[in-house]
Amino acid sequence: MEEALALYLVTNRDNLSDDRFLDIVLEACEGGITMLQLREKEASTNEFYELALKVKKITDSYSVPLIINDRVDICLAIDADGVHIGDDELPVWKTRELIGPDKILGVSAKTVIRGIEAKFEGADYLGVGAIYPTTTKVQTKLTSMEELKQIVDEVKSPVVAIGGIKEENILSFSGSGVSGVSIVSEIMQAKEVPTKVLKLKELVEKMKMKD
């Protein structure tokens, strides 16, 4: 789990055509992302399913684990590697029951209590944030670096930080104990995706050396 969380791309299709979107996925895999989460908030079930099948072909060919945001049905339908859920989805234990013991289950957690419950109910890793301001997702409140460290120390589950993470602030996670960073716009909107991913990977490795 630790290794897969190092540089975790969460997608955002925005106004991208399917072709450009799939090119970005391919370039990001080539550049060395360690896991990919397909996050489709607006797509119909059929669109999500069709897109997930195409993305899976790419991620499988690079052996990059594919995680589906929220939708257990899509995860099972395409035999993805796992699912990531937030607060508004099925309970963690029910999600684990549905996906079985072998698939990866990620859970968003903003507090130690939520993290402990999620771990107890079957989460493999926790996504914590937003740490820095972001326009990708509406956030009521940011999670501080102190709160992030508290979750890492007290829950003792692999943790990936998310929210506003860019080249310039990756090293601020040095010593925090996180297993990696989850990134949307810094990769999805990069002018040159492979170069950006290589640079981010280098920084994540540097960040983890200081733990």
Interface residues with ligand TZP (CB under 6 A)?
10, 129-130, 134, 136-137, 162-165, 183-186
- Residue 13 is a catalytic residue: no
| 8 Å CB contact between 7 and 32 | yes
Least Cβ distance, residue 109 to ligand TZP (angstroms): 11
Which of 52, 130 has the CB closer to ligand TZP? 130
Which of 10, 26 has the CB closer to ligand TZP? 10
| 8 Å CB contact between 187 and 200 | yes
- Element holding 68 (H helix, E strand): strand 66-69
Farthest CA pair distance, the chain: 44
- Residue 149 is a catalytic residue: no
d(CA 54, CA 35): 16
Among candidate residues 137, 149, 199, 208, the one labeled active-site is 137
Least Cβ distance, residue 101 to ligand TZP (angstroms): 26
Which of 98, 142 has the CB closer to ligand TZP? 142
Cβ neighbours around 190 below 10 Å, total = 20
d(CA 29, CA 61): 9
Cα–Cα nearest to 179, from 128, 121, 123, 120: 128
Among candidate residues 39, 56, 110, 114, the one labeled active-site is 39
d(CA 73, CA 13): 20
- Residue 137 is a catalytic residue: yes
Structure tokens at 104: 């990866």
Least Cβ distance, residue 24 to ligand TZP (angstroms): 14
Which of 61, 144 has the CB closer to ligand TZP? 144
Among candidate residues 13, 56, 108, 182, the one labeled active-site is 108
Least Cβ distance, residue 93 to ligand TZP (angstroms): 22
**Residues identified as active-site:** 39, 108, 137
